[in-house]
Amino acid sequence: MIVAEQKPLPEIIEMVSPFKKLLILGCGTCVKTCFAGGEEEVAVLASILRLDARHKGKDIQITELTIERQCENEFIQEASEAVSANDAVLSLACGAGVQDIARRFKNTPVLPGLNTTFVGVMESRGLFTEECLCCGDCRLGMTGGVCVLARCAKKLSNGPCGGSRNGKCEVNPEIDCAWQLVIDRMTCLGTLDSLRQYCPPRDWRSSNSAGPRKLLREDMVI
Amino acid sequence: MSGEYVSKLEKKLSSGGFAVTAELGPPRGANENVIAEKAKLLSCWVDGVNITDNQTAIVRMSSIAACVHVLEAGLEPIMQMVTRDRNRIALQSDLLGAYSLGIRNILCLSGDHHVFGSQPDALGVFDVDSIQLLRIVDEMRRSGRDMSGYQLDTPPRMFVGAAANPFADPFDYRVIRLAKKIDAGARFIQTQCIYNLERFRGWMSRLCQEGLTEKVYILGGVTPLKSAGMAKYMAQKVAGMDIPEAVIRRMEGVPREKAAREGVKIALETIHELQTIAGVRGVHIMAIENEQAVGALVEEARLMKIPGCLEGE
Amino acid sequence: MPENYKEPIRAIALFYCVNAVDRQVVKKLEGNCQLDLRLVKMPCSSMVKEVFLLRALEAGAEAVLVLVCPKGHCQFADGNIRASKRVERTGKLLGEAGLGGGRVSINDAKLETEEEILLALRQALSQADASGIAAGSKISNKEYIPSSADGVEK
């Protein structure tokens, strides 16, 4: 899923300060799962912003709404009425969702309430880990299902650096050394020998290094 | 025959000599005299001087420029090049530039991660890794082509080396990784500082078994400890460093003012041990900001002195 | 202090787990403690959510106190731990926004008498005062107090 976290409240408060009527728009997919932008987070943020406005003697009217996804037009339509009834939208979606909302509603300012952090998994309740950089050229088959691009601090393609210690990364002892995970897994699978093979430099054109990417599915175009 | 060798270091190692290299850290500033001073201290005692490339991710004079100052001081530089700060275009361009300035030895590294440096807010490039860089340099020497396949006018022909850490995890994979470095073109290897000789011997015997010592010159890393505090700090804080308890206790067991001397003694014993291990073809003495210790150590270990060299000239 | 000075009545919301304190004892406090006290009964403290605490503040409470079972004594495994995490997070958010992180607090001591509970309420109010924000108004806006539909019976 796309993992995000709420922006610091002072930043949000500053951003929304010019507006009297604010729609806080939640997204019910990825960011809900990571406790950043679902109904509950919308409600909490709305309450805080109302308390803040009252504390400062200001007026604010907040509408709370959460739609299934902010990155799909079908669902975005459901927000039309609420958007037009407000001065601005504080979107609790990932960066893609915020942009999609902004694109659909040209005359309403759309503000980001979250910082989109990474594509990852919930390793255990409340703990999220980055697992994918969306490089566009998946080599997981060669590294035992562990992405060394996303999970090695030096993006090494040919084995661990000298800083791997007790299975942990030198950059942060809380983080597993990705190469240790690769080696453990491939030892388990009996395919460790294949790591002897040289892995050539990446062709970054598949990543966003060659500019923003588009994907066209002819068969889906109507 | 001499034309086959691109550097004096390559020649010495190829002819069976026991090589001595040292490390010199460029200054945090543009003062070339700092390098000249350090070079003077090393000039009679080493076959080559590694010039670090923004080591520990702290901005310093560029390795290439410092190599040129070292050349002017009459020493042979080993240019360290890390993949942390430059993409493949910049790395190749700097290889051409470095060669044009007379630099003939290179050590290919990924580099200390920038979160440890003075500017942890920087973007880490890591477009290629150290093994891929080895191959880039090797390809230029063998085929004269850059990565795009373009035939270069006067391709750099460098003596290529890599680093190895026999003490890092996962131990079993360390030999495979070294083999990959050799496949990628590494001709010499400089190791992490050795304090745990037993583990180092184990690693070397694995290399011998795999026939790797036939293909590459191993230079064992030596760093004289200055104090018990330094030993403890390195043991705990420096990633991939293995300092056995016994060594720390030995440093603690001498009075503070004699600690540096004890460190030199340990280094001397390590060098003598290394000379007896099959496959070890030299030592790499890393004594950053302690360059005067290098000459003393080399002299005391009776490793070498460049004939006719007058110290300090 | 002028003779006719009257201590203002302080407004506080008390969320309590029925397993943590005796409901009858709590009830006795209501209207009988010199506080504008609003009670929210919970079958387990895990029912408490950030938004309920915040809405109690919106409704005019100067402070919110959550009474939970002592560590290791939740009948439903870890309700009190969940409650303490949520109280902590609510306090953090309030603090970050400059709205008084100390206005929400939690107590997991075994409180048996009216006096003990009253003391805990007074402490919660002092802690709220220490965090520098005093709402100073009575609980007036009843719509914000969570209803039994949320599993929280008033």
Stretch 164-203 of chain A: residues touching chain B, C-beta under 8 Å:
164-167, 170-171, 177, 179-180, 183-184, 192, 195-196, 198-202
Smallest Cα–Cα separation from B242: which of B264, B223, B260? Answer: B223
**Per-residue confidence (pLDDT) for residue C1, from 0 to 100:** 57
Tens digit of pLDDT for each residue in C4-53? 777 778 999 999 999 999 999 999 998 788 899 999 999 999 999 999 99
A91 and A176 part of one domain:
no
Is the CB of B110 less than 8 angstroms away from the CB of A195?
A: no
Residue-wise DSSP of A47-108: HHHHHHHHHTT---EEEEEEES-TTSHHHHGGGHHHHHTSSEEEEES-HHHHHHHHHH-TTS
Q: For residues A218 and A108, what is the distance between their CA atoms, to the nearest angstrom? A: 33
Residue-wise DSSP of C100-149: -GGGEEEE-S---SHHHHHHHHHHHHHHHHHTT---------GGGS--GG
A146 and A109 part of one domain:
no
- What residues of B are in contact with residue A177 (Cβ under 8 Å)? 169
Instruction: For residue A160, report the phi and psi dihedrals to the nearest 5 degrees.
Output: -75, 150
A47 → closest Cβ in C58, C96, C133: C58
Cβ-contact A119, A133 below 8 angstroms: yes
Query: Is the confidence at residue C139, as pLDDT, over 80?
Result: no
Is the CB of C54 less than 8 angstroms away from the CB of A9?
A: no
Q: Which single residue is written with the structure tokens 């430059």?
A: B86
- What residues of A are in contact with residue B183 (Cβ under 8 Å)? 198
Residue B140 Cα to chain centre, angstroms: 21
B131 → closest Cβ in A167, A180, A198: A198
Q: B145: which residues sit within 8 A by CB, 6+ positions away?
A: B139, B151, B152, B155
Cβ-contact B250, B266 below 8 angstroms: yes
What residues form DSSP beta bridges with A130? A120
Pair of tokens at residue B210? 């795999």
Cβ-contact B301, B268 below 8 angstroms: yes
A201 → closest Cβ in B132, B168, B170: B132
A80 and A15 part of one domain:
yes
Q: For residues A61 and A20, what is the distance between their CA atoms, to the nearest angstrom? A: 6
Partners of chain A (3+ Cβ pairs below 8 A): B, C
Pair of tokens at residue B34? 């700092």
**Per-residue confidence (pLDDT) for residue A206, from 0 to 100:** 96
- What residues of B are in contact with residue A171 (Cβ under 8 Å)? 113, 115-116
Mutation target among B85, B89, B113, B129 for the A interface, most CBs of A within 10 A: B129
Q: Which helix (H) or strand (E) segment is B264 a member of?
A: helix B259-276
Question: Exposure pattern of B222-234 as b/e (b: 16+ CB <10 Å)?
Answer: bbbbbbbebbeeb
Is the CB of B239 less than 8 angstroms away from the CB of A162?
A: yes
A102 and A139 part of one domain:
no
B1 — pLDDT class (breaks 50, 70, 90): very low
Q: Which helix (H) or strand (E) segment is A131 a member of?
A: strand A127-132
User: Does C124 contact A at CB distance below 8 Å?
Assistant: no
Q: Which helix (H) or strand (E) segment is C25 a member of?
A: helix C23-29
**CATH code, domain carrying A89:** 3.40.50
- What residues of B are in contact with residue A180 (Cβ under 8 Å)? 169-170
- Each residue's pLDDT, cut to its tens digit, for chain A (222 residues) gives 999 999 999 999 999 999 999 999 999 999 999 999 999 999 999 999 999 999 999 999 999 999 999 999 999 999 999 999 999 999 999 999 999 999 999 999 999 999 999 999 999 999 999 999 999 999 999 999 999 999 999 999 999 998 888 899 999 999 999 999 999 999 999 999 999 999 999 999 999 999 999 999 999 998
Q: Which helix (H) or strand (E) segment is A115 a member of?
A: strand A114-124
CATH number of B7-220+278-287: 3.20.20.220
Query: Is the confidence at residue B158, as pLDDT, over 90?
Result: yes
Is the CB of A50 less than 8 angstroms away from the CB of C133?
A: no
Once rounded to an integer, what is the mean pLDDT over residues B132-151?
98
> Is residue A194 in a domain?
yes
Partners of chain B (3+ Cβ pairs below 8 A): A
Q: Specify burial of residue C20 (Cβ count, 10 A radius: 0-12, 13-18, 19+).
A: buried
Cβ-contact B217, B13 below 8 angstroms: yes
Q: Which domain holds residue A77?
A: 2-118
Coil, strand or helix at C86: helix
Cβ-contact B133, B106 below 8 angstroms: no
Tens digit of pLDDT for each residue in B40-56? 999 889 999 999 999 99
User: Looking at CA atoms only, how far is residue C51 from chain A in angstroms?
Assistant: 5
Cβ-contact B82, B132 below 8 angstroms: no
User: Looking at CA atoms only, how far is residue C90 from chain A in angstroms?
Assistant: 9
Tens digit of pLDDT for each residue in B117-130? 999 999 999 999 99
**Per-residue confidence (pLDDT) for residue B302, from 0 to 100:** 84
C in contact with B (at least 3 C-beta pairs within 8 A): no
Topology given in CATH for the domain delimited by C10-144: Rossmann fold (3.40.50)
**Per-residue confidence (pLDDT) for residue A222, from 0 to 100:** 87
What value does the mean pLDDT of chain B take?
Answer: 94
Domain boundaries, chain B: 7-220+278-287
Residue C8 CB: number of other CB atoms within 10 A? Answer: 12
**Per-residue confidence (pLDDT) for residue C134, from 0 to 100:** 58
Is the CB of A47 less than 8 angstroms away from the CB of C133?
A: no
> Is residue A36 in a domain?
yes
Residue A96, CB half-sphere, CA atoms under 13 Å: how many?
17
C96 → closest Cβ in A9, A40, A47: A9
**Per-residue confidence (pLDDT) for residue B301, from 0 to 100:** 87
Residue C27, amino acid: K
Q: Which helix (H) or strand (E) segment is B161 a member of?
A: strand B159-164
> Is residue A209 in a domain?
no
Pair of tokens at residue B88? 């493949």
User: Looking at CA atoms only, how far is residue C134 from chain A in angstroms?
Assistant: 10
Alpha helices in chain A (DSSP H): 9-16, 30-33, 39-55, 73-76, 80-84, 95-104, 148-151, 178-189
Residue-wise DSSP of B191-253: EEEP--HHHHHHHHHHHHHTTGGGTSEEEEEE-----HHHHHHHHHHSTT----HHHHHHHHT
Question: Exposure pattern of B29-40 as b/e (b: 16+ CB <10 Å)?
Answer: eeebebbeebbb
Pair of tokens at residue C38? 């609003």
Q: Which helix (H) or strand (E) segment is B305 a member of?
A: none
A20 and A111 part of one domain:
yes
Once rounded to an integer, what is the mean pLDDT over residues B158-168?
95
What residues form DSSP beta bridges with C36? C11
**Per-residue confidence (pLDDT) for residue B4, from 0 to 100:** 81
User: Does C104 contact A at CB distance below 8 Å?
Assistant: no
> Is residue A47 in a domain?
yes
A69 and A24 part of one domain:
yes
Partners of chain C (3+ Cβ pairs below 8 A): A
Please give the residue of chain B at the shortest CA–CA distance from A167.
B169
Residue B55 CB: number of other CB atoms within 10 A? Answer: 20
User: Looking at CA atoms only, how far is residue A176 from chain B in angstroms?
Assistant: 12
Please give the residue of chain C at the shortest CA–CA distance from A126.
C85
Judged by phi (left if over 0) then psi (alpha if -120 to 50, else beta), residue B102 lies in: left
DSSP 8-state class, residue C10: E
> Is residue A56 in a domain?
yes
B2 — pLDDT class (breaks 50, 70, 90): very low
Query: Is the confidence at residue B313, as pLDDT, over 90?
Result: no
> Cα separations (Å) of C110 from C12, C53, C144?
20, 22, 29
**Per-residue confidence (pLDDT) for residue C145, from 0 to 100:** 55
DSSP 8-state class, residue C7: P
Query: Is the confidence at residue B137, as pLDDT, over 50?
Result: yes
**Per-residue confidence (pLDDT) for residue C146, from 0 to 100:** 54
Q: Which single residue is written with the structure tokens 């603690």?
A: B252
Mutation target among A143, A154, A166, A168 for the B interface, most CBs of B within 10 A: A154
**Per-residue confidence (pLDDT) for residue C149, from 0 to 100:** 36
Is the CB of B169 less than 8 angstroms away from the CB of A165?
A: yes
Is the CB of C51 less than 8 angstroms away from the CB of A55?
A: no
Cβ-contact A183, B169 below 8 angstroms: no
Please give the residue of chain B at the shortest CA–CA distance from A152.
B126
Q: For residues C17 and C152, what is the distance between their CA atoms, to the nearest angstrom? A: 10
Please give the residue of chain C at the shortest CA–CA distance from A44.
C51
Q: A121: which residues sit within 8 A by CB, 6+ positions away?
A: A1, A128, A129, A131
DSSP 8-state class, residue B151: B
DSSP 8-state class, residue B59: -
**Per-residue confidence (pLDDT) for residue B39, from 0 to 100:** 94
Count of the separate structural domains present in chain A: 2
